[in-house]
Amino acid sequence: MNEQIASIQSSALELIAAANDARALDDARVAVLGKKGTLTLAGALIKDIPNEEKATFGQSLNAARTEINAALQQKENILQAIADANALSGIDLTLPPRSLPTGGLHPLTLIRDEAIQILRRMGFALADGPEIEDEYHCFDALNTPADHPARNEKDTFYFNSGKLLRTHTSSVQIRTMETSTPPIRIIAPGSAYRRDEIDATHLSVFNQLEGLFVDTDVTLPDLKGTLEYFFHEMFGTSTEVRFRPHFFPFTEPSFEIDVKLQIKGQAPRWIEVAGCGMVDPAVFKSINATRKDNALDPKKITGFAFGMGLDRLAMIRWGIKDIRLLIENDTRFLSQFAQ
Ligand code: DAH
């Protein structure tokens, strides 16, 4: 009986030695140890042999199984090592990795960050306000009468609740002055919404950057100096900046700011980039009424405000002819700005 086991074991070891890949090794395992494997079938004979031989038979069976399992394991390790070496052959692990394509910042993000950097250097802090506004903060507190065209349903997105999508970031001026006392020096970049026809220079969602400086002796020259400096930082010191008298309900006097665009091969032209002015005392008064104090006493306090179009700045900076490119997410356009 024991010879039979010895011969099963030696042919099993031969099979294992001859197996050249994982599949052949598996076949060998099944042929010997599987349900109908040679060793399994031999083991089943234990019930037929005389009792006094059962112990020795069992021992040699177990010894054979241990031996065969060890050989299987050893062969498996060898085959795995060969497979690993093959997988890596021809690959030079010392080469530097190929770089992965990375995204870049959107031109609007780039221009906004740059604008913020310039203004923060001048001491302006970031402020924020909701894009879903009420009429009070968007219009009334900004001295804009109920019959002003901007409040028209044709121009503004209204919700049934009476709230609206802010038509400008100037509402952040009001929210800031309601909760802080002078000196106030803030900027508020953010989206604004208008029911404009969409074309090469208009979107119904666009981006503004609002600014407000309120203190005891803020003057018109401060406004001009600040904004001239800003546009020189933005577009270069030789850029001409012009303040054109205009009307806004919440500033007096008010101006629109144009910068002179000089593109090679084209006649220079003025491009409107911002509105600005000295805060109208009526604005301070309505905020004092809400605050129920006189923290913004128009007799002692003055201020300037401005609101610029960030999309415009991006268009000027990079000569972008159609504003829609800024929202279409065409990678052929956007990848030009990746840094
Ligand atoms: N809110 C104005 C607009 O969207 C721009 C503006 C003009 C903002 C004058 C100001 C300002 O702060 O003082 O057209």
Testing ligand 1's pocket by substitution, the residue of 170, 195, 257, 302 carrying the most ligand atoms inside 8 A of its CB is: 170
pLDDT value, residue 1: 58
Q: Ligand 1: does its nearest atom lie under 6 Å from the Cβ of 37?
A: no
The torsion angle over the Cα atoms of residues 254, 194, 268 and 316, rounded to 10 degrees, is 110
Domain boundaries, the chain: 2-88, 107-337
Three-class DSSP category at 199: strand
The torsion angle over the Cα atoms of residues 323, 325, 328 and 334, rounded to 10 degrees, is -140
Over the chain (339 residues), what is each successive 10-residue block's mean pLDDT?
86 93 92 92 87 89 93 94 90 88 91 98 98 97 92 91 97 97 97 93 95 97 98 95 97 97 84 97 97 96 98 93 94 89
Instruction: Name the residue with the closest Cα to ligand 1, atom 12.
Output: 306
CB proximity list for 137: less than 8 A, separation 6 or greater: 129, 166, 171, 174, 175
Looking at domain 107-337, its CATH class is alpha beta
> Ligand 1 centroid to 218 CA: how many Å?
18
Q: Which atom of ligand 1 is nearest to the CA of 168?
A: 4
> Ligand 1 centroid to 274 CA: how many Å?
7
- What single string gives the DSSP state of each residue in 140-170? GGGT--TT-GGGSTTTS-B-TTS-EE-SSTT
pLDDT value, residue 45: 85
> Ligand 1 centroid to 181 CA: how many Å?
21
pLDDT value, residue 296: 97
> Ligand 1 centroid to 252 CA: how many Å?
12
